Amino acid sequence: MKSIKLYSNKTIKKYKNKINLLGKDHNFISVEKFLNIRILSSLIIFFMLIYLFEWGYILSPIITIIYFCFYSNIFLDSKINIRKEKLEDESILFFETLLLSLETGKNLKQSLELTVSIIDSEISKEFDQVLKSVEYGKSLDEALNDLMEYLPSISINNIISNLSQSNNYGTDITKTIDNQINYLRHKKMMEIKEKINKMPIKISVVSVLFFIPMILLLILSPVLLEFLTR
């Protein structure tokens, strides 16, 4: 008997790519299981709202639709962005060390082995998996191309692509890596500046929500006390 297919190939491919970007450690959950949980949890929320609230028959469709639409953002996209920032932070030191190793005359595989042995980070562990794949019979180019499916950073993937091309054609990669490292540094600096620029706005919001009510309470407290003691 032919099984019923709930999801299109396009949907499965879309969420498979997203789950991959969380890293190989998250491959224990299948795409179908993730999508099934989304449907099941949406139904639970729908019926709970109807049961718990008087206006549930109005609220439940709206809240359930919002939850269903933003389910991926809550459980995938936010985690992918956090991982992206972490990997980009770690990649500067990793690629700097790799560059130093390449400049000593070692080939790419030797340089990766040395860098992985020195640097202890998530990005280093990803490249360690690349080296293990090579030991199991894959070419270095194939292993590097596979790695790009699990990294959410375009900047890091650009470096890996250049490494693969350099290894394939035997060209010098040191200048390209140096330029990419400078780009990552500049990008990180701009992100820090953006966060600093947003700080006054956040402080203002906190002031409005917390300090102003406190000041009003202090000003009005004598009037309130006088009124209550009459």
List the domain range (segments joined by +) for residue 28. Answer: 9-84
- pLDDT for 109-121, tens place per residue? 999 999 999 999 9
Looking at the fold, whether 36 and 53 belong to one and the same domain comes out as yes
CA distance 12 to 17: 9
Looking at the fold, whether 103 and 171 belong to one and the same domain comes out as yes
Q: Which of 34, 61, 84 is the last residue in one of the domains?
A: 84
Residue 226 has pLDDT above 60, yes or no: no
Q: How far apart are the first and last CA of the chain?
A: 83
- pLDDT for 136-194, tens place per residue? 989 999 999 999 999 999 999 999 998 888 888 877 788 888 888 888 888 888 877 77
The model's pTM is 0.74
In 3D space, the residue among 203, 158, 214 whose CA is nearest the CA of residue 181 turns out to be 158
Looking at the fold, whether 126 and 53 belong to one and the same domain comes out as no
3-state secondary structure (DSSP) of residue 7: coil
In 3D space, the residue among 183, 147, 152, 180 whose CA is nearest the CA of residue 164 turns out to be 147
Half-sphere exposure of 90 (CA within 13 A, CB side): 19
Looking at the fold, whether 42 and 93 belong to one and the same domain comes out as no
Looking at the fold, whether 15 and 90 belong to one and the same domain comes out as no
Residue 229, domain member (yes or no): no
Alpha helices in 73-173 (DSSP H): 78-103, 108-118, 122-135, 140-147, 154-169
- pLDDT for 16-41, tens place per residue? 999 989 887 666 678 888 999 999 99
* Number of DSSP helices (H) and strands (E) in the chain, helices first: 10, 0
